[in-house]
Copies of this chain bind each other. A is one copy, B any other.
């Protein structure tokens, strides 16, 4: 079992790596693995009393920078969790310790903005005697560097803090490293979402894909259409996200360099929408009469587009990210087919009996609306599968497990940017170490040119909610999602061996526990700081 955070564990891992002949450097516990890291056995002791974060003299960001000021406080508590508990050990190290300063320098300020698709997350971290220097182009890069720094610190068996002389040059392999939560099949309380954002930052995820509404419930409290949640949520008060809740999520995410991309999936997956928005969904027919049940959004009436435009305008206003996910997956055609008005419309439009054309017609309208609002659309692969010619800057997301490599080829050949999620549907659980399956994924391993490979902008871990709510979310996500996090951040060449990753992931899992994330065990063993079950 792992004894994380101790020098002996690090030594063991080091010896292991030496033994398998891959490297002669000590491995660091940083997860995901930095692009380049050099560590030496020289170690420096840290005293909480004499430890500080500071802004470099040449830094564009200085005290008052919201993102970094808060990060300094957060990481101090993460690195020295015991220190904040009481004053009794305040002076313990005083006599024997020397100060340690982490100096953070940022090229451009941008403390009050939001991370976006072009955010530079690279950083350089140099740890030497008495000081560490962290340099980055943006505050988002500093956040990544602070996270790595926090993972370098460890305690020996006497509780003293140390870190080794280290040089890190780091940047993400993919710009888009997402995690999807589904708050429709089960409602997730705000606290569960915020905790997930914390853990995402520890793994350097940078996009929270909020699959906020779907068939079962509509928890988003719209200011324009309050009836949507009033009638479509599981409960109009206890099971909704108010505007203030959404703002809290976005701000919590921003402080951690995480984008919030909401998904308003249509025309399918909209049963709950129909409750608060009459005439939005297609009435299904049994023979010549309405059956009383409803199908996907009705794409044949003007009111649908008026509604969607107003909703998307609100979404643009509420969610600052330049991306919005429009769904477009799994549309069942049987209800459309049963409806005489829809059939008439099909004839008028010359669609024949091809309902994929009707869906494409709808999605194109919605995507154009989104473009007019200056937003980039993400859609599920179905939209591409139905009609290859869609607006060029639309991002396509692959969710079907079968043949996803071929789909990557086709989509990138058509010049589209692509997100890969199919192999990371980690709501699908199985017995044992299934993180290894996620870890083995190679997102650029498909037939295509170098240009095509570059169109893979990243991927997403998906935690769909059929069987998941706040009771089991955290241990199902962590540390299983960490496997994809490393695949999306690190150099694939250096991280394909899951056996080598195992002790580092085990150590990281214990670190997640220590930080209050209910991450489940990878295998038999224990952590120094266990969850106490309360």
CB <8 Å contact, A431 and B430: yes
The interface bits of chain A over 511-523 (1 if a CB of B lies within 8 angstroms of the residue's CB, else 0) are 0010000111111
Assuming A429-B431, A430-B430, A533-B195, is B471 touching A526 (CB within 8 A)?
no
Q: Which residue of B lies closest to A217 (CB)?
A: B526
- Asked if B525 contacts A186 (CB within 8 A), the reply is yes
Say yes or no: A192-B533 contact (C-beta < 8 A), given A430-B430, A521-B186, A521-B468: yes
Smallest Cβ-Cβ distance to A512: which chain B residue: B471
Contact of A475 among B465, B472, B521 (CB under 8 A): B472
Question: Which B residues lie within 8 Å of A22 (CB)?
Answer: none
Taking CB as reference atom, which chain B residue is nearest A430? B430
Judge whether A432 is part of the interface by a CB distance below 8 angstroms: yes
A467 and B521 form a contact (CB under 8 A): yes
CB-defined A-B contacts under 8 Å, sample of 16: A186-B524, A189-B530, A189-B533, A191-B533, A192-B533, A216-B524, A427-B431, A467-B522, A467-B523, A469-B526, A470-B530, A470-B531, A470-B532, A472-B472, A472-B520, A475-B475
Whole-angstrom CA separation of A532 from B195 in the bound complex: 12
Taking the closest CB of chain B, its distance from the CB of A397, in whole angstroms, is: 21
Cα–Cα, bound, A521→B186 (Å): 9
Q: Residues of B contacting A135 with CB < 8 Å?
A: none
> 7 closest pairs, A vs B, by CB?
A192-B533, A472-B475, A470-B533, A234-B526, A191-B533, A189-B533, A472-B520
Chain B residues positioned under 8 Å from A430 (CB to CB): 429-431
Q: A469's contact among B186, B195, B520, by CB below 8 Å, is which?
A: B520
- Residue among A216, A467, A532 having the largest count of chain B Cβ atoms under 10 Å: A467
> A466 at interface (Cβ–Cβ under 8 A)?
yes
Contact at B533–A467, with CB atoms within 8 Å? no
Distance in Å from the Cβ of A339 to the closest Cβ of chain B? 26
Cβ 8 A contact of A524, one of B185, B195, B471, B475: B185
* A454 at the B interface (CB under 8 A): no
Asked if A139 is at the interface (CB within 8 A of a chain B CB), the reply is no
Using known A-B contacts A216-B524, A526-B239, determine if residue A469 contacts B534 with beta carbons closer than 8 Å. Answer: no
| Total interface residues in chain A, CB < 8 Å | 49
Rounded to whole Å, the gap between the CB of A197 and the closest CB of chain B is 13
A1 interface contact, C-beta 8 A: yes
* Shortest CB distance A64–B (Å): 32
* Least distance between A489 CB and chain B CB atoms (Å): 24
A529 to chain B, nearest CB (A): 9
Q: How far is the CA of A190 from the CA of B534 in the complex (A)?
A: 10
Shortest Cβ gap from A23 to chain B (Å)? 28
Shortest Cβ distance from A475 into B: residue = B472
Q: Which residues of B sit under 8 angstroms from A530, Cβ to Cβ?
A: 187, 189, 238-239, 469-470
A30 in contact (CB, < 8 A): no
**Could you say which residues of chain B place their CB within 8 Å of the CB of A187?**
526, 530
Chain B residues, CB < 8 A from A465: 524
